[in-house]
Amino acid sequence: MGKTMAIFTLGCKVNRYDSEAIEETFIQAGYTVVSFEDKADVYIINTCTVTHMSDRKSRQMIRRAKKINPDSIVVVVGCYAQVAKEEIEAIEEVDLIIGTDKRLQILEAVEEFAKNQQPMNFVEDIMETYEFEELKINNMDKRTRAYLKIQEGCNNYCSYCIIPYARGNIRSRQADNIVDEVRRLASEGFKEIVLTGIHVASYGKDLKNTNLIEIIKLVHEVEGIERIRLSSIEPKVITDEFIEEIIKLPKFCKHFHLSLQSGSDTVLKRMKRRYTASEYKEAVGKLRKEFNDISFTTDIIVGFPGETEEEFIETVEFIKDIKFADIHIFPYSPREGTPAATMKDQISSQIKQERVKELSKVADGIKDKIAREYIGKSLSVLFEQSHKDDIYEGHTDNYMKVSCKSDEDISNQIKDVKITSVKNNTLCGIIE
């Protein structure tokens, strides 16, 4: 079969994009991609460092790779590699360390290692990197939704977040390169594009004559693309100008993942977030006024240092008020090197887990109620995949998950579906 490689990806959608680009580089060099659980010549672990759990999982996968094939070349890339290179160097199973830049050199580094068997650490000061690394994807796996990385880095430095230290300062991808990749994706049949990055809202701030709105408009013009989404953004993005522009773009989906983290102003201030709960609510109100059937999802951290029971209740009441369609809830995880890690009044794991459980129960109740409001309605669904018994799943433009039965293959097709019931937070219906 020739040379083989396997890649394991932890963390965010940006990491997934980076992994696909790395994988494609190896395919073009003649490698065959195999499952991470299979014997491979090269294992790449694309790491995450958002929480202690992600660090631990990264180390587990590093060791697992060498157990599967002791003669393999193990490469560690990504955020954990960037911020903890000495820690990773101490893991004897690791052969190459690359970080969050110079990923285009992975193939060359692997082939060099195969010759001389000399471990190498390529991690450099990411704060000295000012150019967007052009990781292109020409042949994504056949799916209906394509994630497109348009931006790297973050300049916000929230008090709890290690990512700016792992990804560096903001770097934006050139508009021409973005549009070229969108056209390639459209030619391969992709109907939906998700513009993603470490801090998408900052796109264009390091370039001339472009910004997030302008790149959305350019993507909107590409024939064949029928839906455009954004990954996580902050409420400060939702200005009157932003709304005035996107309301003119019918391909722009009526779903926003608006980052919240806490519904308490005092917690938001300690987090060094750049908005208040009232500003967040105002942004949601503006969007709901202009768009029918719009939905909102978000992220929340519970148990941030010093979070009182009163502050936690503020968050609970806030999510009830906003009525999020879905919430990703995380217990606070201290990250060495961030201001929050040394703050007083760290919350115990037990309290954090109790609050996660309580907030999840409230969030699930809201989610179920919202889902049931769609029973009897007709929704436009882009179907993405099929399961057993000819059951297909897809999403509406406001990102509600829909399932229905079809005797014909409806993958990558947009169909009108009459919703008849809700099962496990999924809308179920029949094709009209």
pLDDT at 403: 95
User: Where are the extended beta strands (E) located within 153-274?
Assistant: 171-172, 192-197, 227-230, 255-257
Q: pLDDT tens for residues 361-405?
A: 999 999 999 999 999 999 999 998 777 778 999 999 999 999 999
Domains of the chain and any CATH numbers:
4-124 (3.40.50.12160), 127-231 (3.30.750.210), 262-370 (3.30.750.200), 378-431 (2.40.50)
Q: pLDDT tens for residues 233-273?
A: 999 999 999 999 999 999 999 999 999 999 999 999 999 99
Q: pLDDT tens for residues 171-214?
A: 999 999 999 999 999 998 999 999 999 999 999 999 998 999 99
Q: pLDDT tens for residues 349-364?
A: 999 999 999 999 999 9
Q: CA nearest 19: which of 154, 194, 140, 184?
A: 140
Q: pLDDT tens for residues 109-131?
A: 999 999 999 999 999 999 888 88
Q: What is the DSSP letter of 38?
A: S
Q: pLDDT tens for residues 203-226?
A: 999 999 899 999 999 999 999 999
CB 324 within 8 A of CB 366: yes
What percentage of the chain has pLDDT greater than the value 70?
98
pLDDT at 141: 59
Q: What is the DSSP letter of 47?
A: E
pLDDT at 56: 93
Residue 142 clears pLDDT 60, i.e. is over it: no
pLDDT at 52: 86
* 121 phi and psi angles, rounded to 5 deg: -120, 110
Write down the mean pLDDT value for the chain.
94
Residue 272: count of CB within 10 angstroms of its CB? 14
Lowest mean pLDDT among 56-70, 327-341, 379-393: 379-393
Q: How confident is the model at residue 135 (pLDDT cuts 50, 70, 90)?
A: confident
Residue 424 clears pLDDT 90, i.e. is over it: no
